[in-house]
A and B are shown apart, each in its own frame.
Chain A
Amino acid sequence: MRNIATLLLLGGLSFLLLVITGGLLFGNPPMLIGQGIQQAAPTEVGAANIVTAVVLGYRGLDTLGELSILFAAATAGGLVLGSTRGRSGRPGGFILRTGVDLLFPLMLVAGLYVVMHGHLTPGGGFQGGVILAAAFFLPLLARPQESLDHTWLSVIEALAGSAFIALGLAALFEGRAFLTPLFDHGVLGALVSSGSLPLLYLAVGLKVGAELASLLVRLSADDEGAS
Protein backbone atom coordinates (compact mmCIF):
# COMPACT_ATOMS: atom_id res chain seq x y z
CA MET A 1 0.00 0.00 0.00
CA ARG A 2 2.76 2.37 0.96
CA ASN A 3 4.72 1.45 -2.13
CA ILE A 4 1.72 2.09 -4.37
CA ALA A 5 1.23 5.54 -2.85
CA THR A 6 4.94 6.25 -3.31
CA LEU A 7 4.83 5.17 -6.94
CA LEU A 8 1.76 7.34 -7.57
CA LEU A 9 3.54 10.31 -6.02
CA LEU A 10 6.66 9.70 -8.10
CA GLY A 11 4.66 9.34 -11.31
CA GLY A 12 2.80 12.55 -10.65
CA LEU A 13 6.00 14.35 -9.71
CA SER A 14 7.84 13.27 -12.84
CA PHE A 15 4.82 14.19 -15.00
CA LEU A 16 4.68 17.64 -13.38
CA LEU A 17 8.40 18.26 -13.79
CA LEU A 18 8.41 17.05 -17.40
CA VAL A 19 5.46 19.29 -18.31
CA ILE A 20 7.14 22.30 -16.70
CA THR A 21 10.51 21.65 -18.34
CA GLY A 22 8.76 20.93 -21.65
CA GLY A 23 7.72 24.57 -21.66
CA LEU A 24 11.35 25.70 -21.47
CA LEU A 25 13.11 26.49 -24.70
CA PHE A 26 16.25 24.39 -24.56
CA GLY A 27 19.23 26.37 -25.76
CA ASN A 28 17.40 29.72 -25.81
CA PRO A 29 17.04 30.81 -22.19
CA PRO A 30 14.32 33.41 -21.75
CA MET A 31 16.03 35.09 -18.80
CA LEU A 32 17.26 38.59 -19.57
CA ILE A 33 19.14 39.27 -16.35
CA GLY A 34 22.03 37.05 -17.36
CA GLN A 35 22.60 39.03 -20.53
CA GLY A 36 22.41 42.29 -18.59
CA ILE A 37 24.99 41.02 -16.11
CA GLN A 38 27.27 39.96 -18.96
CA GLN A 39 27.09 43.46 -20.40
CA ALA A 40 27.64 45.25 -17.10
CA ALA A 41 29.98 42.95 -15.17
CA PRO A 42 33.32 43.77 -16.91
CA THR A 43 33.00 47.47 -16.16
CA GLU A 44 31.17 47.28 -12.84
CA VAL A 45 33.05 44.44 -11.11
CA GLY A 46 36.05 43.80 -13.34
CA ALA A 47 36.17 40.01 -12.94
CA ALA A 48 36.83 37.92 -16.02
CA ASN A 49 34.83 35.06 -14.55
CA ILE A 50 31.26 36.33 -14.61
CA VAL A 51 30.05 33.62 -12.23
CA THR A 52 32.46 35.02 -9.64
CA ALA A 53 31.13 38.50 -10.38
CA VAL A 54 27.62 37.24 -9.61
CA VAL A 55 28.60 35.22 -6.54
CA LEU A 56 30.80 37.82 -4.85
CA GLY A 57 30.05 41.11 -6.59
CA TYR A 58 26.30 41.23 -7.05
CA ARG A 59 25.14 38.61 -4.54
CA GLY A 60 27.83 38.81 -1.85
CA LEU A 61 25.20 38.76 0.89
CA ASP A 62 23.89 35.41 -0.40
CA THR A 63 27.42 34.04 -0.29
CA LEU A 64 27.69 35.16 3.33
CA GLY A 65 24.45 33.31 4.05
CA GLU A 66 25.81 30.26 2.26
CA LEU A 67 28.96 30.40 4.38
CA SER A 68 26.87 30.62 7.53
CA ILE A 69 24.81 27.60 6.43
CA LEU A 70 28.02 25.64 5.91
CA PHE A 71 29.29 26.85 9.27
CA ALA A 72 26.03 25.78 10.94
CA ALA A 73 26.22 22.34 9.30
CA ALA A 74 29.85 21.87 10.37
CA THR A 75 29.07 23.03 13.90
CA ALA A 76 26.05 20.76 14.13
CA GLY A 77 28.12 17.85 12.82
CA GLY A 78 30.73 18.50 15.48
CA LEU A 79 28.00 18.76 18.10
CA VAL A 80 26.40 15.47 17.05
CA LEU A 81 29.67 13.58 16.82
CA GLY A 82 31.22 15.09 19.92
CA SER A 83 34.90 15.64 20.48
CA THR A 84 37.33 13.34 18.78
CA ARG A 85 38.76 10.67 20.95
CA GLY A 86 42.20 9.22 20.55
CA ARG A 87 42.56 7.89 17.05
CA SER A 88 43.66 4.35 16.54
CA GLY A 89 44.36 2.33 13.47
CA ARG A 90 47.22 0.84 11.63
CA PRO A 91 49.38 3.11 9.47
CA GLY A 92 48.91 2.75 5.76
CA GLY A 93 51.12 0.72 3.53
CA PHE A 94 54.22 1.90 1.72
CA ILE A 95 52.39 2.85 -1.48
CA LEU A 96 49.77 4.88 0.39
CA ARG A 97 52.37 6.72 2.48
CA THR A 98 54.62 7.54 -0.46
CA GLY A 99 51.68 8.58 -2.61
CA VAL A 100 50.39 10.88 0.12
CA ASP A 101 53.81 12.47 0.57
CA LEU A 102 53.98 13.04 -3.17
CA LEU A 103 50.42 14.31 -3.52
CA PHE A 104 50.24 16.61 -0.49
CA PRO A 105 52.31 19.55 -1.83
CA LEU A 106 50.80 19.18 -5.30
CA MET A 107 47.25 19.31 -3.95
CA LEU A 108 48.19 22.28 -1.77
CA VAL A 109 49.47 24.16 -4.81
CA ALA A 110 46.46 23.16 -6.92
CA GLY A 111 44.03 24.24 -4.21
CA LEU A 112 45.70 27.61 -3.71
CA TYR A 113 45.86 28.12 -7.48
CA VAL A 114 42.13 27.45 -7.84
CA VAL A 115 41.39 29.81 -4.95
CA MET A 116 43.62 32.65 -6.17
CA HIS A 117 42.43 32.45 -9.79
CA GLY A 118 38.75 32.31 -8.87
CA HIS A 119 38.05 35.63 -10.57
CA LEU A 120 39.83 34.61 -13.79
CA THR A 121 39.24 30.91 -14.45
CA PRO A 122 36.61 28.34 -13.50
CA GLY A 123 36.94 27.66 -9.80
CA GLY A 124 37.06 29.81 -6.76
CA GLY A 125 37.04 29.71 -3.00
CA PHE A 126 34.56 26.87 -2.57
CA GLN A 127 36.17 24.53 -5.08
CA GLY A 128 39.72 25.34 -4.00
CA GLY A 129 38.74 25.05 -0.35
CA VAL A 130 37.50 21.52 -0.96
CA ILE A 131 40.83 20.63 -2.61
CA LEU A 132 42.69 22.11 0.38
CA ALA A 133 40.55 20.10 2.79
CA ALA A 134 41.26 16.92 0.84
CA ALA A 135 44.99 17.74 0.87
CA PHE A 136 44.99 18.07 4.65
CA PHE A 137 42.87 14.95 5.08
CA LEU A 138 45.14 12.73 2.96
CA PRO A 139 47.98 12.43 5.55
CA LEU A 140 45.44 11.17 8.08
CA LEU A 141 44.67 8.23 5.81
CA ALA A 142 48.32 7.27 5.70
CA ARG A 143 49.15 7.95 9.35
CA PRO A 144 46.00 7.67 11.47
CA GLN A 145 47.84 8.32 14.74
CA GLU A 146 48.80 11.89 13.92
CA SER A 147 45.66 13.94 14.25
CA LEU A 148 45.08 17.40 12.89
CA ASP A 149 45.10 20.15 15.46
CA HIS A 150 41.51 21.29 15.92
CA THR A 151 42.54 24.52 17.62
CA TRP A 152 44.42 25.73 14.58
CA LEU A 153 41.57 24.76 12.27
CA SER A 154 39.12 26.72 14.42
CA VAL A 155 41.44 29.73 14.51
CA ILE A 156 41.86 29.72 10.70
CA GLU A 157 38.11 29.31 10.20
CA ALA A 158 37.24 32.13 12.59
CA LEU A 159 39.84 34.50 11.12
CA ALA A 160 38.68 33.80 7.55
CA GLY A 161 35.03 34.35 8.43
CA SER A 162 35.88 37.57 10.26
CA ALA A 163 37.95 38.76 7.29
CA PHE A 164 34.98 38.20 4.94
CA ILE A 165 32.67 40.25 7.16
CA ALA A 166 35.36 42.90 7.74
CA LEU A 167 35.74 43.39 3.98
CA GLY A 168 31.98 43.84 3.80
CA LEU A 169 32.00 46.35 6.64
CA ALA A 170 34.87 48.28 5.04
CA ALA A 171 32.55 49.00 2.11
CA LEU A 172 30.02 50.40 4.58
CA PHE A 173 32.65 52.81 5.92
CA GLU A 174 33.24 54.06 2.40
CA GLY A 175 29.56 54.91 2.17
CA ARG A 176 28.56 52.06 -0.10
CA ALA A 177 26.40 48.99 0.38
CA PHE A 178 27.53 46.00 2.46
CA LEU A 179 30.01 43.75 0.61
CA THR A 180 30.42 46.08 -2.34
CA PRO A 181 33.76 45.25 -4.04
CA LEU A 182 36.45 47.66 -2.91
CA PHE A 183 39.60 49.03 -4.54
CA ASP A 184 40.42 49.64 -8.17
CA HIS A 185 39.25 47.20 -10.83
CA GLY A 186 42.62 46.96 -12.53
CA VAL A 187 43.21 45.32 -15.89
CA LEU A 188 40.59 42.77 -16.91
CA GLY A 189 42.19 39.32 -16.80
CA ALA A 190 45.20 40.22 -14.66
CA LEU A 191 45.89 38.25 -11.47
CA VAL A 192 45.63 41.37 -9.31
CA SER A 193 42.38 42.79 -10.60
CA SER A 194 38.68 43.15 -9.83
CA GLY A 195 39.26 44.89 -6.51
CA SER A 196 38.67 42.93 -3.34
CA LEU A 197 37.15 39.82 -4.99
CA PRO A 198 40.39 37.74 -4.71
CA LEU A 199 40.64 38.64 -1.02
CA LEU A 200 37.03 37.61 -0.46
CA TYR A 201 37.60 34.34 -2.28
CA LEU A 202 40.79 33.70 -0.28
CA ALA A 203 38.78 34.10 2.92
CA VAL A 204 36.08 31.80 1.55
CA GLY A 205 38.65 29.20 0.50
CA LEU A 206 40.38 29.12 3.88
CA LYS A 207 37.08 28.96 5.74
CA VAL A 208 35.65 26.17 3.59
CA GLY A 209 38.93 24.24 3.72
CA ALA A 210 39.21 24.44 7.51
CA GLU A 211 35.54 23.54 8.04
CA LEU A 212 35.57 20.56 5.71
CA ALA A 213 38.91 19.31 7.04
CA SER A 214 37.68 19.33 10.63
CA LEU A 215 34.42 17.67 9.54
CA LEU A 216 36.30 14.92 7.66
CA VAL A 217 38.57 14.32 10.65
CA ARG A 218 35.56 14.02 12.96
CA LEU A 219 33.71 11.67 10.62
CA SER A 220 36.69 9.37 10.09
CA ALA A 221 37.59 9.32 13.79
CA ASP A 222 34.07 8.36 14.80
CA ASP A 223 33.85 5.74 12.10
CA GLU A 224 36.84 4.00 13.62
CA GLY A 225 35.52 4.39 17.13
CA ALA A 226 32.22 2.69 16.22
CA SER A 227 33.45 -0.64 14.97
Chain B
Amino acid sequence: MNWAIGLVMFVGAVGLSVIGIAGMLMSNHLFRMVLALAVAEAGANLLLILAGYRWDAAAPILLPGHSTQAMVDPVPQAMVLTAIVIGVGVQALALSLVIRVRQHYATLDMRVARQRMQDALDQAAGVVPPRSQEGPAGERPLPAPTRTIEAGGPHD
Protein backbone atom coordinates (compact mmCIF):
# COMPACT_ATOMS: atom_id res chain seq x y z
CA MET B 1 0.00 0.00 0.00
CA ASN B 2 2.74 2.41 0.95
CA TRP B 3 4.70 1.84 -2.22
CA ALA B 4 1.53 2.48 -4.21
CA ILE B 5 1.14 5.89 -2.57
CA GLY B 6 4.77 6.66 -3.25
CA LEU B 7 4.38 5.58 -6.87
CA VAL B 8 1.37 7.84 -7.37
CA MET B 9 3.21 10.78 -5.79
CA PHE B 10 6.37 10.34 -7.82
CA VAL B 11 4.50 9.75 -11.08
CA GLY B 12 2.44 12.85 -10.37
CA ALA B 13 5.49 15.01 -9.73
CA VAL B 14 7.39 13.72 -12.77
CA GLY B 15 4.22 13.99 -14.86
CA LEU B 16 3.73 17.63 -13.87
CA SER B 17 7.29 18.47 -14.87
CA VAL B 18 6.99 16.65 -18.19
CA ILE B 19 3.60 18.24 -18.95
CA GLY B 20 5.09 21.66 -18.25
CA ILE B 21 8.11 21.04 -20.49
CA ALA B 22 5.81 19.67 -23.20
CA GLY B 23 3.72 22.82 -22.99
CA MET B 24 6.80 25.00 -23.30
CA LEU B 25 8.14 23.07 -26.31
CA MET B 26 4.95 22.40 -28.26
CA SER B 27 2.95 25.57 -27.67
CA ASN B 28 3.20 28.60 -29.93
CA HIS B 29 1.29 30.92 -27.63
CA LEU B 30 3.61 32.99 -25.49
CA PHE B 31 1.33 33.28 -22.46
CA ARG B 32 0.71 29.54 -22.47
CA MET B 33 4.45 29.01 -22.46
CA VAL B 34 4.72 31.09 -19.28
CA LEU B 35 1.92 29.05 -17.71
CA ALA B 36 3.65 25.82 -18.75
CA LEU B 37 6.82 27.07 -17.08
CA ALA B 38 4.83 27.52 -13.85
CA VAL B 39 3.48 23.96 -14.13
CA ALA B 40 6.97 22.53 -14.68
CA GLU B 41 8.22 24.42 -11.63
CA ALA B 42 5.38 23.02 -9.55
CA GLY B 43 6.39 19.49 -10.58
CA ALA B 44 10.03 20.09 -9.67
CA ASN B 45 9.05 21.55 -6.30
CA LEU B 46 6.77 18.61 -5.56
CA LEU B 47 9.60 16.22 -6.39
CA LEU B 48 11.90 18.01 -3.93
CA ILE B 49 9.30 17.95 -1.18
CA LEU B 50 8.69 14.24 -1.76
CA ALA B 51 12.40 13.53 -1.47
CA GLY B 52 12.31 14.77 2.13
CA TYR B 53 9.07 13.05 3.15
CA ARG B 54 9.07 10.64 6.07
CA TRP B 55 6.31 8.34 7.19
CA ASP B 56 4.58 9.20 10.48
CA ALA B 57 6.50 12.44 10.82
CA ALA B 58 5.36 15.93 11.70
CA ALA B 59 6.14 19.26 10.05
CA PRO B 60 9.60 20.53 11.02
CA ILE B 61 8.32 22.86 13.73
CA LEU B 62 9.18 22.31 17.36
CA LEU B 63 6.26 22.38 19.74
CA PRO B 64 6.63 22.43 23.52
CA GLY B 65 6.61 18.87 24.79
CA HIS B 66 7.04 17.20 21.41
CA SER B 67 10.79 17.56 21.08
CA THR B 68 11.46 13.87 20.41
CA GLN B 69 8.94 13.52 17.59
CA ALA B 70 10.15 12.47 14.16
CA MET B 71 10.08 15.27 11.60
CA VAL B 72 10.28 15.48 7.84
CA ASP B 73 13.53 16.72 6.37
CA PRO B 74 13.61 20.56 6.60
CA VAL B 75 16.36 21.07 4.02
CA PRO B 76 14.27 20.31 0.88
CA GLN B 77 11.52 22.54 2.25
CA ALA B 78 13.95 25.44 2.58
CA MET B 79 15.16 24.77 -0.97
CA VAL B 80 11.58 24.76 -2.28
CA LEU B 81 10.91 28.06 -0.51
CA THR B 82 13.85 29.52 -2.40
CA ALA B 83 12.74 27.92 -5.66
CA ILE B 84 9.20 29.29 -5.39
CA VAL B 85 10.42 32.84 -4.80
CA ILE B 86 12.85 32.67 -7.71
CA GLY B 87 10.09 31.17 -9.86
CA VAL B 88 7.85 34.13 -9.10
CA GLY B 89 10.60 36.52 -10.15
CA VAL B 90 11.23 34.62 -13.38
CA GLN B 91 7.53 34.50 -14.22
CA ALA B 92 7.09 38.22 -13.57
CA LEU B 93 10.00 39.03 -15.86
CA ALA B 94 8.67 36.66 -18.54
CA LEU B 95 5.22 38.24 -18.31
CA SER B 96 6.61 41.74 -18.70
CA LEU B 97 8.50 40.59 -21.80
CA VAL B 98 5.27 39.03 -23.14
CA ILE B 99 3.44 42.32 -22.55
CA ARG B 100 6.12 44.16 -24.52
CA VAL B 101 5.88 41.65 -27.39
CA ARG B 102 2.14 42.13 -27.54
CA GLN B 103 2.49 45.90 -27.57
CA HIS B 104 5.02 45.84 -30.40
CA TYR B 105 3.64 43.12 -32.65
CA ALA B 106 -0.05 43.04 -31.63
CA THR B 107 -0.04 39.27 -31.25
CA LEU B 108 0.90 36.58 -28.79
CA ASP B 109 1.45 33.85 -31.38
CA MET B 110 5.16 33.17 -31.54
CA ARG B 111 5.23 32.39 -35.29
CA VAL B 112 3.31 35.54 -36.24
CA ALA B 113 5.42 37.68 -33.94
CA ARG B 114 8.59 36.19 -35.42
CA GLN B 115 7.38 36.94 -38.96
CA ARG B 116 6.48 40.51 -38.06
CA MET B 117 9.79 41.03 -36.32
CA GLN B 118 11.57 39.77 -39.45
CA ASP B 119 9.55 42.13 -41.61
CA ALA B 120 10.31 45.07 -39.34
CA LEU B 121 14.01 44.22 -39.42
CA ASP B 122 13.94 43.97 -43.20
CA GLN B 123 12.19 47.31 -43.46
CA ALA B 124 14.68 48.96 -41.14
CA ALA B 125 17.55 47.54 -43.15
CA GLY B 126 16.04 48.70 -46.43
CA VAL B 127 15.60 45.15 -47.72
CA VAL B 128 12.33 44.48 -49.50
CA PRO B 129 10.72 41.43 -47.97
CA PRO B 130 10.30 38.74 -50.65
CA ARG B 131 6.62 38.14 -50.09
CA SER B 132 5.69 41.75 -50.84
CA GLN B 133 6.35 41.13 -54.54
CA GLU B 134 3.44 38.74 -54.69
CA GLY B 135 1.06 41.09 -52.93
CA PRO B 136 -0.80 43.89 -54.66
CA ALA B 137 1.13 47.12 -55.06
CA GLY B 138 0.90 49.54 -52.16
CA GLU B 139 -0.14 46.94 -49.65
CA ARG B 140 1.40 47.33 -46.27
CA PRO B 141 3.15 44.12 -45.24
CA LEU B 142 2.41 44.77 -41.58
CA PRO B 143 -1.03 45.24 -40.12
CA ALA B 144 -1.07 48.40 -38.08
CA PRO B 145 0.07 47.55 -34.54
CA THR B 146 -1.58 49.21 -31.59
CA ARG B 147 1.59 51.13 -30.86
CA THR B 148 4.29 51.78 -33.41
CA ILE B 149 7.81 50.61 -32.76
CA GLU B 150 9.11 54.16 -32.65
CA ALA B 151 6.72 55.07 -29.87
CA GLY B 152 7.99 52.18 -27.78
CA GLY B 153 11.60 53.25 -28.13
CA PRO B 154 13.98 54.25 -25.37
CA HIS B 155 12.53 57.73 -24.98
CA ASP B 156 9.22 56.30 -23.85
Contacts and interface: CB of A to CB of B under 8 A. Distances in A.
Contacts of B18: 10, 13-14, 17
B47 to A, nearest CB: 7
A102 interface: no
B141 interface: no
Given A18-B14, A122-B61, A73 B73 contact: no
Interface in B78-129: 78, 81-82, 84-86, 88-90, 92-93, 95-97, 99-100, 102-103
Contacts of B100: 80-81
A18 B10 contact: yes
A166 interface: no
Interface residues of A, number: 61
B59 A122 contact: yes
Interface string B58-82: 0111111001000111111110011
Nearest to A65: B82
B137 interface: no
A196 B55 CA distance: 33
A54 B75 contact: yes
Interface string B17-30: 11001100110000
B14 A48 contact: no
Contacts of A9: 25
Contact of B82 (A66, A80, A222): A66
Interface of B is mostly: helix
Among A14, A74, A120, A124, the one with the most B-chain Cβ atoms within 10 Å of its Cβ is: A14
Interface residues of B, number: 59
Among A17, A24, A31, A215, the one with the most B-chain Cβ atoms within 10 Å of its Cβ is: A17
B99 to A, nearest CB: 5
A212 B93 CA distance: 11
A151 interface: no
B51 interface: yes
Contact of A51 (B21, B78, B95, B103): B78
Nearest to B90: A73
A189 B60 contact: no
B77 to A, nearest CB: 5
Interface in B1-48: 2-3, 5-7, 9-11, 13-15, 17-18, 21-22, 25-26, 47
Contacts of B146: 226-227
